[in-house]
Amino acid sequence: MNSLIFEQGDIVIANVLFSEQIGMKTRPALVISNSEFNKKSDDLILLKITSKGKKTQFDVNLTSEDVTEGFLKQESNIMVDNPVTVYKRLIETKTGKITKQKLKEVKQKIKELYQI
């Protein structure tokens, strides 16, 4: 198991399957599973982060001002509508953490998406 400790709101670099389930891409992602789940599970639930333009109404803009630890290379979008489960061993590293306010915004988008 990866020896890093993961918390909700962490930005990680992970090997993530493409949507078609064929092939992988190393990309940044946001840990959205809660910290208690992350301690007990061999997996993490992630939201992909992309530097390509906004694709859906559920994307959340991410700028360097939204990062409290680490840094963001370029303005990006958190893809709330495309969660993935990733085995912790496929996480290369943690690169940062988003602000509590930005995490609140992401959670609000999740509520809108699933109507919960």
∠ CA(16), CA(20), CA(25), 5° rounding?
25
**Is 31 buried (19+), middle (13-18) or exposed (0-12) by CB count in 10 A?**
buried
What pLDDT, on the 0 to 100 scale, is given for residue 18?
Answer: 67
Q: What total number of domains does the chain contain? A: 1
In a domain, 5, yes or no: no
What pLDDT, on the 0 to 100 scale, is given for residue 16?
Answer: 85
In a domain, 56, yes or no: yes
∠ CA(27), CA(79), CA(98), 5° rounding?
75
- Model pTM score: 0.91
In a domain, 88, yes or no: yes
**Chain segment 54-112, per-residue pLDDT in tens:** 788 999 999 999 999 998 889 999 999 989 999 998 899 999 999 999 999 999 999 99
Three-state SS for the chain is: CCCCCCCCCEEEEEEEECCCCCCEEEEEEEECCCHHHHHHCCEEEEEEEECCCCCCCCEEEECHHHEEEECCCCCEEEEEEEEEEEEHHHEEEEEEEECHHHHHHHHHHHHHHHCC
Domain of 58, CATH number, reads 2.30.30.110
In a domain, 3, yes or no: no
Tokens of 32: 């959205």
Domain that holds residue 69: 10-114
Tokens of 21: 């389930």
**Chain segment 24-52, per-residue pLDDT in tens:** 789 999 999 999 999 999 999 999 999 98
In a domain, 1, yes or no: no
